[in-house]
Homo-oligomer: A and B are copies of this chain.
Amino acid sequence: MKPYAEMSREQLLEEKAGLEKEYQKIKELGLDLNLTRGKPSPSQLDLSMDMYDLIYSGARLIAEDGTDCRNYGGLDGIEEAKRLMAGFMDCDPQQVIVHGNASLSIMYDTIARSMTHGVLGSTPWCRLDRVKFLCPVPGYDRHFSITEYFGIEMIPVPMRADGPDMDMVERLAAEDAAVKGIWCVPKYSNPQGITYSDETVRRFAALKPAAEDFRIYWDNAYAVHDLYEDDRARLLPIMQECEKAGSINMVYQFCSTSKVTFSGAGFSAMAASIENRDSIYKQMAVQTIGHDKIKQWVHTRYLKDMDGVRRHMAKHAALVRPKFEAVDRILSRELAGLGIGSWIKPKGGYFICFEAMEGCAKSIVAKAKEAGVTLTAAGAPFPYGIDPHDSVIRIAPTFPELEEMEQAAAVFACCVKLAGVEKLLEGV
């Protein structure tokens, strides 16, 4: 089929009539599919259930250093948990602080602390007239919610094939001391699945921000979430690059075992320079007596080391990969050559990012919803929920069963075509 943009009004009308019939049939199926969030499927969660066979009434929940994991204490986590998370984050275990069940909470806390107490002695951000954050777009909506909640002005920075537009990042960070940080998902980025190139990572490490309290928020959420064992993206370790560049205080790294074992019932960690870490300890000592060490104990006994993590993640990949491939296959079959949308086929992570024709995303999401397929709201991957081109849609293929995902992808493709035809007819 030829590109829609090259069709005459008559051809478009004819196409539209066919699509409307198809759309009507879909609606009659009464589907109820939810593709909104990056949630593991029940089958993925089943993969880790044997972890709990390690804890039973007779188990000795004692850490390597003799700590009773059932009692209070151990503010920064047991050593073996730090070591495991250091493997996720390619850093020194000494740089790791182990936290509770959600890395999002660490990020929230880190921003909240900067608001009330500043960063390593800097002026608390709540006393400044303006605080700004750089936000590579499309990005992770929950990152943007945190900065929005604290009244931090968000500046979108376009994503390229190898990471954020670094010319823009360098310029904005260097020229404005109100710019205090940047949100990054450097590996299998949410939602595009892009992994930052070595060059991009090195340029991050070499940043010369005007603000002494500028920090890179390096959310390595998908550090081990490869779809292909023989074709893994390789992310240059940011902390090592920062060490080399003399900028180790400039980066905070985050990760968690969510989507490795149980979402929201694992543990998370932050990595930071020793100076940053010690400053964070001071707050943590006020905030908590310590995080759940039983979970740290069982996770480290179960996953053991990075080889164990890789083996476990390969099981996830076997379940998830067919869903990603189904989306790619169906979109290719339905949309190739029509010129009404594009997407990146990711090698890992949790999302596929679809870029529709300008002005079509909201319409596609609404049509899909009407046909029983709920997608993440159009605009969600942008600060303040505003996609200036109304074109980006995030697809989360992991949660539905394969057959459901195939069905949803076909519905989605129909909606994309219908929205595209309608858009073009407006202009003809």
Residue numbers of A with Cβ under 8 A of B are 37, 39-40, 42, 45, 49-50, 52-53, 55-59, 68-73, 100-102, 104-105, 108, 112, 115-117, 124, 126-127, 142, 145-146, 149-150, 258, 262-265, 283, 285-295
Contact = CB atoms under 8 A, between A and B. Distances in A.
Contact of A264 (B40, B55, B290): B290
Given A104-B288, A116-B115, A286-B146, A57 B68 contact: no
Nearest to A147: B286
Copies in the complex: 2
A288 B105 contact: yes
Given A49-B56, A116-B150, A149-B283, 9 more contacts: A37-B72, A45-B68, A53-B57, A102-B288, A104-B287, A146-B286, A264-B290, A265-B293, A265-B295
Nearest to A290: B264
Contacts of A263: 70-72, 289
Contacts of A265: 69-70, 292-295
Contacts of A108: 286-288
A288 B57 CA distance: 31
A264 B289 contact: yes
Contacts of A115: 116, 126
Contacts of A116: 112, 115-116, 126, 150
A118 to B, nearest CB: 12
Contacts of A42: 68, 71
B55 A55 contact: yes
